[in-house]
């Protein structure tokens, strides 16, 4: 061997670049971002099945956000009296901020109306935040937290109730984010023995206040931190537990109590007007049976398997304290769902945080059980899960398709049917800003130039009080003797509900303009007789209604798949959007 040979370093055989790249593992630091983004993509893809659908109740918040951004204060539309017709202040504030920034209620973004794109984009970001919180929980107890996060996202994407209401234009996604973040805070604090710290107490109270200002039933989560402290209570920890529970209560009471004080000073009420109008009764023990609705929806077999897995995790896990801290907010969410007045909308609108928490708990518990069981159990547990969730998946897919065909009251249909149509009625009469009594407020408030009288009472305090006290005769007297609206619309459950359409005074004081053949009670549109100057005007109203209204109604099921114009503005009368 020569000196030259000895001086040459050994050269490794050259590896083709393509092969080297293929064998390079994905950096672990990218896995959390991948899991969160993949979950968001799955949830967003499922949401896209419902097109541009926005539920009409969300448009009530849109109208208030517009008024706040324009400096008009808490009014549903310009010229209307101040009424707290919304019950989601944090969501309203986000939408108002979007309008001030030119991102909402201004026009189209990327060819999509921003009143569709902006709230749905906010919802998707909230889902991303929720999955990030799930990853923080999983990172504390599992070796592959990204996988737990990914599975959580995929499961949530498969639950129509979660996806539908997160992307309805309402506050559900923000509410779920607040509740899950609170649960994860308690979970990690319990595992790290940090429950009795000022930071955790303050954050728990602040998050509960945020949830309460996002939805009225969110106030129940103020009990989450004290209940978790109670579960972990020992004789030696009694004094600090009391102090920190009080500290958390103060952190909750300052923002939430401040808002209640503003509400009382501004409106003379401790409850929002929608809460009054919905006449929430005191809960009863038998109300708790309503959780059976959610069990039936998710599938009894799937819920049973989940309960067994959670029980196994509690018995075997070294982090049972943390799992209990997650179960407390879930239990509070189930109680809140049970005691709320039953909602008429489809797909369990009030259950959004329940689905998020149950999915996170189930995924974490499954990972823990698989980690501590033998090979045979590692085969049986996934097999049992698959056997349990397949029937649920079939039901979920049918529910998603059914809702897509017949969605809950689309905002665009209301904007055209009760905004544009009644604007045209008023134009045909040559009337100024006359009054309209209607039960569908959202899309109407965005497009009507009339004075809107909310038959449902959400933005009408006197009507809300009549409904709360079940004084429907007083409600009818108020409508016919005091309000005397120029236009009345009534349809569906409102006929038998308040009987305005069958009151003798409607025949005495009003002409029918357009009617529906609904069994038992008159339904349709009416105009006050003293507002019609000539028979020709009445004929013009009816001729227009006979053409425009059936066309709008015929396209009701198509509205979720399209928008209703780049902008929604008061006074719109163009019915060409439905052609």
- DSSP letters, 431-454, are --S-EEEES--HHHHHH--SEEEE
> Considering the domain boundaries, does residue 537 fall inside one?
yes
> Considering the domain boundaries, does residue 10 fall inside one?
no
Q: Are residues 161 and 66 in the same domain?
A: yes
Q: Are residues 431 and 529 in the same domain?
A: yes
108-109 vs 435-438, strand pairing mode: unpaired
> Considering the domain boundaries, does residue 7 fall inside one?
no
Q: pTM value?
A: 0.92
Residue 471, phi-psi category: left (phi > 0), alpha (psi -120 to 50), beta (remainder): beta
Q: Are residues 202 and 270 in the same domain?
A: yes
> Considering the domain boundaries, does residue 2 fall inside one?
no
| Structural domains of the chain, count | 2
Q: What residue numbers bound the domain in which 185 lies?
A: 30-405
Beta strands of 16-142 (E only): which ranges?
108-109, 112-113
* Domain containing residue 512: CATH number: 3.40.190
> Considering the domain boundaries, does residue 14 fall inside one?
no
Cα 209–Cα 214–Cα 218 angle in degrees, nearest 5 = 60
User: Are the CB atoms for 80 and 60 separated by under 8 Å?
Assistant: no
Q: Which of 405, 423, 449 is the last residue of a domain?
A: 405
> Considering the domain boundaries, does residue 507 fall inside one?
yes
pLDDT digits 0-9 by tens, 385-428:
888 888 899 999 999 999 998 999 999 999 999 999 999 999 99
β-sheet with 510-516: strand ranges across: 451-454, 435-438, 487-490, 523-528, 510-516
Q: Are residues 442 and 494 in the same domain?
A: yes
**What sign does the CA torsion over 403, 408, 411, 417 have?**
positive
Q: Are residues 300 and 441 in the same domain?
A: no
Q: Are residues 260 and 342 in the same domain?
A: yes
**What sign does the CA torsion over 342, 345, 346, 348 have?**
negative
Q: Which of 405, 436, 461 is the last residue of a domain?
A: 405
The reported pLDDT for the residue numbered 5 is 41
Q: Are residues 274 and 368 in the same domain?
A: yes
Residue 520, phi-psi category: left (phi > 0), alpha (psi -120 to 50), beta (remainder): left
Q: How would you write the pLDDT of the chain (579 residues) with one tens digit per residue?
A: 444 443 444 444 444 444 444 555 557 789 999 999 999 999 999 999 999 999 999 999 999 999 999 999 999 999 999 999 999 999 999 999 999 999 999 998 888 999 999 999 999 999 999 999 999 999 999 999 999 999 999 999 999 999 999 999 999 999 999 999 999 999 999 999 999 999 999 999 999 999 999 999 999 999 999 999 999 999 999 999 999 999 999 999 999 999 999 999 999 999 999 999 987 767 777 777 889 999 999 999 999 999 999 998 888 777 888 899 999 999 999 999 998 888 889 899 999 999 999 999 999 999 988 887 776 667 787 788 888 888 899 999 999 999 998 999 999 999 999 999 999 999 999 998 999 999 999 999 999 999 999 999 999 999 999 999 999 999 999 999 999 999 999 998 999 999 999 999 999 999 999 998 776 889 999 999 999 999 999 999 999 999 999 999 988 867 777 778 889 999 998 554 444
Q: Are residues 359 and 419 in the same domain?
A: no
Between the CA of residue 558 and those of 57, 393, 417, 477, 541, what are the distances in Å?
19, 26, 14, 38, 26
> Considering the domain boundaries, does residue 355 fall inside one?
yes
User: Are the CB atoms for 495 and 474 separated by under 8 Å?
Assistant: no
* Token pair for 255: 């923002």
Q: Which of 405, 438, 456 is the last residue of a domain?
A: 405
Cα 196–Cα 134–Cα 39 angle in degrees, nearest 5 = 165
Cα 163 to the chain's mean position, in Å? 9
Q: Are residues 129 and 201 in the same domain?
A: yes
Q: Are residues 203 and 302 in the same domain?
A: yes
Q: Name the helix (H) or strand (E) containing 73.
A: none
Q: Are residues 400 and 415 in the same domain?
A: no
> Considering the domain boundaries, does residue 15 fall inside one?
no
pLDDT digits 0-9 by tens, 473-499:
999 999 999 999 999 999 989 999 999
> Collapsing DSSP states into helix, strand and coil, what is residue 278?
coil
Q: Are residues 418 and 391 in the same domain?
A: no
User: Are the CB atoms for 520 and 495 separated by under 8 Å?
Assistant: yes
User: Are the CB atoms for 65 and 105 separated by under 8 Å?
Assistant: yes
Quote the CA–CA distance of 411 and 60 in Å, as a whole number: 9
């Amino acid at each position: 061997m020569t000196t030259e040979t000895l001086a040459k370093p050994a050269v490794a055989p050259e590896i083709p670049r393509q092969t080297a790249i293929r064998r390079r593992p994905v950096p672990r630091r990218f896995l959390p971002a991948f899991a969160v983004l993949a979950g968001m993509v799955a949830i967003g893809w499922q949401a896209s099945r419902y097109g541009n659908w926005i539920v009409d109740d969300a448009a009530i918040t849109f109208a208030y956000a517009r008024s706040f951004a324009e400096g008009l204060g808490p009014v549903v539309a310009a010229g209307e009296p101040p009424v707290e017709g919304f019950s989601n202040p944090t969501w309203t504030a986000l939408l108002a901020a979007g309008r001030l920034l030119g991102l909402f209620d201004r026009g189209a973004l990327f060819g999509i109306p921003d009143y569709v794109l902006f709230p749905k984009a906010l919802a998707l970001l909230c889902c991303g935040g929720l999955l990030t919180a799930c990853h923080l929980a999983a990172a504390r107890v599992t070796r592959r937290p990204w996988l737990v996060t990914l599975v959580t996202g995929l499961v949530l994407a498969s639950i129509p109730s979660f996806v539908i209401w997160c992307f309805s234009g309402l506050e559900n996604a923000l509410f779920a984010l607040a509740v899950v973040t609170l649960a994860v805070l308690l979970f990690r604090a319990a595992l790290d023995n940090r429950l009795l710290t000022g930071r955790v107490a303050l954050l728990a109270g602040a998050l509960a206040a945020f949830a309460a200002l996002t939805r009225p039933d969110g106030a129940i989560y103020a009990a989450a931190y004290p209940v978790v402290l109670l579960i972990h209570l020992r004789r030696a920890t009694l004094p600090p537990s009391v102090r920190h529970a009080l500290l958390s209560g103060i952190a909750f009471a300052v923002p939430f109590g401040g808002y209640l004080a503003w509400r009382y000073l501004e409106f003379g009420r401790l409850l929002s007007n929608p809460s009054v109008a919905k006449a929430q009764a005191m809960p009863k023990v038998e109300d708790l049976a309503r959780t059976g609705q959610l069990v039936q929806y998710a599938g009894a077999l799937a819920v049973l398997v989940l309960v067994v897995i959670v029980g196994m995790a509690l018995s075997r896990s070294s982090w049972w304290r943390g799992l209990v801290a997650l179960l407390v907010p879930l239990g509070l969410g189930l109680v809140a769902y049970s005691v709320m007045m039953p909602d008429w909308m489809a797909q369990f609108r009030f259950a959004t945080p329940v689905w998020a928490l149950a999915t996170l708990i189930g995924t974490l518990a499954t990972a823990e059980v698989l980690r501590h069981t033998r090979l045979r159990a590692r085969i049986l547990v996934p097999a049992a899960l698959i056997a349990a969730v397949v029937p649920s998946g079939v039901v979920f897919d049918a529910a998603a398709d059914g809702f897509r065909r017949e969605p809950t009251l689309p905002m665009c249909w209301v904007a055209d049917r009760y905004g544009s149509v009644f604007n045209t009625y008023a134009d045909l009469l040559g009337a100024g800003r006359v009054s309209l009594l209607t039960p569908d407020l959202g899309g109407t408030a965005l497009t009507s130039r009339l004075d809107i009288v909310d038959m449902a009472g959400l933005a009408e305090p006197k009507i809300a009080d009549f409904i709360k006290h079940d004084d429907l005769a007083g409600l009818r007297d108020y409508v016919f003797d005091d309000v005397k609206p120029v236009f009345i619309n009534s349809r569906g459950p409102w006929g038998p509900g308040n009987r305005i359409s069958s009151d003798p005074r409607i025949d005495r004081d009003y002409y029918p303009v357009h009617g529906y053949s609904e069994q038992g009670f008159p339904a349709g549109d009416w105009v006050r007789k003293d507002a019609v100057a000539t028979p020709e005007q009445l004929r013009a109203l009816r001729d227009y209604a006979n053409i425009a209204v059936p066309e709008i109604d015929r396209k009701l099921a198509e509205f979720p798949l399209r928008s209703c114009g780049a902008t929604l503005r008061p006074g719109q009368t163009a019915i060409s959007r439905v052609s």
